[in-house]
Amino acid sequence: MNRVSVRILPVLIFLLFHVSKSEDEEVKRSLVGFMDKLAAGNVGRDQSWGWNMSSDPCNDKWIGVSCDTLSKSVKKVVLDELNLTGVLDIGFACKASSLSVLSLHSNNVVGSISEEIGNCKHLTHLYVSGNQISGHLPESLKQLSNLKRFDISTNNFTGEVPDISQISGLITFFAQNNQLTGEVPNLDFSHLLQFNISNNNFSGPIPDVKGRFSADSFSGNPGLCGELVSKPCPPTPPSKRKSNHSSIKRFFIYSGYAVLGLIVVLFVAFKLVSKMKPKDDKEAVETNTSRRSYKTSTTTSNESKIAENKSEYSISSVESGVALSSLVVLTSPTGQGLRFEDLLRAPAELLGKGKHGSLYKVMLDNGVTTLAVKRIKDWSVDSEEFKRRMKRLDQTRHPSVLPSVAFYCSQQEKLLVYEYQPNGSLFRLLHGSQSGQAFGWESRLNVAAIVGEALAFMHEELGEDGIAHGNLKSTNILFNQNMDPCISEYGLMVFQTQDLSFDFQSSKDALDHAAPTYGSFKADIYGFGVILLELLTGKPVHTNGIDLARWVHSVVTEEWTVEVFDKALISQGASEERLLNLLQIALKCINPNPYERPNMNQVAIKLPDSSGVFYKKSLLNAIGSTIGEVVKVDDNTKNGMSGRSTHMEAIVDLSKPLILRVCIENALQRVEYRALPTIYF
């Protein structure tokens, strides 16, 4: 008996191996058929790409194929931008049962997505955007329970989107630029990170998107209605089946209301008539009224004379009666001699509006001085606190933080006056249309280092006062005539909980028990992290329904980290290692839990300048073993954007933090300040 078992065992092993080998061959044959249709018989394809029966997709590394290292099964097929012009046969691809990613982005593939897509049970990513695929979307899409990202944008799909609401893990749905019809897909918008159905033929009401997506995600669909697109939906027609009993009852109710209203009106009229004043009282009242009218007309006449000197676009809605004596001019040389009537008479160009107020560009009468005036309304801080903040900020100067020239404060509104910065904002350089303005990797690194160090300094100096920036974003990073970056509007806004992070519940719960000042500084760190993400990705914070922080988190989580970086940086030769290092810093800054975010000192010390040096090695080398004395070091390193020179000196005591005193000299001012007092040996 044992001898028989020994003879059967090799046979079973052989059969098992043969079955496995047959399955592998079947998958390979299906994949080759998939490529045969996609590549439309490209003869040179077999030799250069693989994808033939004489090679193995995993061992021979077919182009675009990634395999599981242990099981040697096909996991990803990514064939983007290969100029494929054939036909999509999804059934062949789904023979590879372990397939999780299928991407055919930006080719010229035709065909349709067949019902066989339901066989791709493990599919998590389906990208077929930028092709000419047509037809209806199959009902079997609802069987893809593991699907996370679905992108069919810029094709020729028609018909309605099947009900895929049961796919609970879906975080991306892109279907813009097609010919889809019907109602907006029924999705769980509370979990979606990316969504866009613009430029289709959808109709009906827009569902509650939980405040995550803007009108841009729905534009180009004339049949859609709702508050988000500022188009009211038609009222739902009332039921036609009404009982006679309810109609009669409603008639008596309305009649009762009418009678009651008439009684109230008559009673009020009677009271008014009974309290009429005598005729002589009337004349006295009329006399007083005429006197007041004369005063008012005189005042109005005087004000109109001033108004004649104002531009049509001047800042004219401030209460001029108190404003003339309420402009507080600070210590900046630009503000010397500045009067409020100068601002009122000067022509003003509206640069932009936001939820916190408006920004104007003001040219003074001499035509030489140009100012920026920030007008704020509905601020939660009272006037006295506002004045305290402005004067404290005037005492805390940093060359990379734009100082206020003057301010005005009343109960209704507040004005901040700054020197106008002619070269726009970081947002415009990254996402705008400033032709001729090169903004490469070296410049972006310099911006990160300069802004990070300036923010760290302000946090250190103003921590006890509880004055953070409050609204840090790329539109508030401005460039002067030398293309030096500077932080504008520091301390102008008071922290709001909803501005802290991207709506993670953990952040909200944590902040319920955090001091307001703590939250405001942590919000600054979050804002700085988002700025780093903009520098790394080249993408704005919000566009086409995409939240940048969420998108980066999701891509990194799925181990597609390299996909987040701006391709322009890669083409310029930016080191992938340095990109990853900066990305890690950004991710720590945007941690959904504010308590786990670093402080700005910890962030700034890790930021390299354009030469890749984490602070100045020349300084540390010059210090050597000297202890307890002042060491002056001339650092020949130049600021990469302005040519501005930097000199450093240090008081060294190994038992205490290293104190750096940095003196930056430029044509305008000479400022000495402490930087990063937490550097330990």
Query: Is the CB of residue 27 less than 8 Å from the CB of residue 95?
Result: yes
Long-range contacts of 139-145 (CB under 8 A, 24+ apart): 139/115, 140/115, 140/116, 141/113, 141/117, 142/166, 142/167, 143/118, 144/117, 144/118, 144/120, 145/121, 145/169
Query: Is the CB of residue 56 less than 8 Å from the CB of residue 79?
Result: no
State the amino acid at position 428 in one-letter form: R
158 pairs with which residues across the strands?
136, 179
Quote the CA–CA distance of 576 and 550 in Å, as a whole number: 22
Instruction: Find all residues with CB under 8 Å of 106, minimum gap 6, and list them.
Output: 80, 81, 129, 130, 131
Output phi, psi for 433, to 5 deg. -125, 50
Q: Which helix (H) or strand (E) holds 417?
A: strand 413-419
Is 374 known to sit in a ligand binding site?
yes
Q: 542-543 and 485-487 as β-strands: parallel, antiparallel, unpaired?
A: unpaired
Quote the CA–CA distance of 528 and 538 in Å, as a whole number: 15
Residue 628 C-alpha from the chain's centroid: 47
Cβ neighbours around 593 below 10 Å, total = 14
Name which of 527, 676, 660 is nearest 589 in CA terms.
527
Query: Is the CB of residue 677 less than 8 Å from the CB of residue 460?
Result: yes
Instruction: Find all residues with CB under 8 Å of 140, minimum gap 6, and list them.
Output: 115, 116, 117, 118
Binding residues are 374
Binding residues for ATP are 374
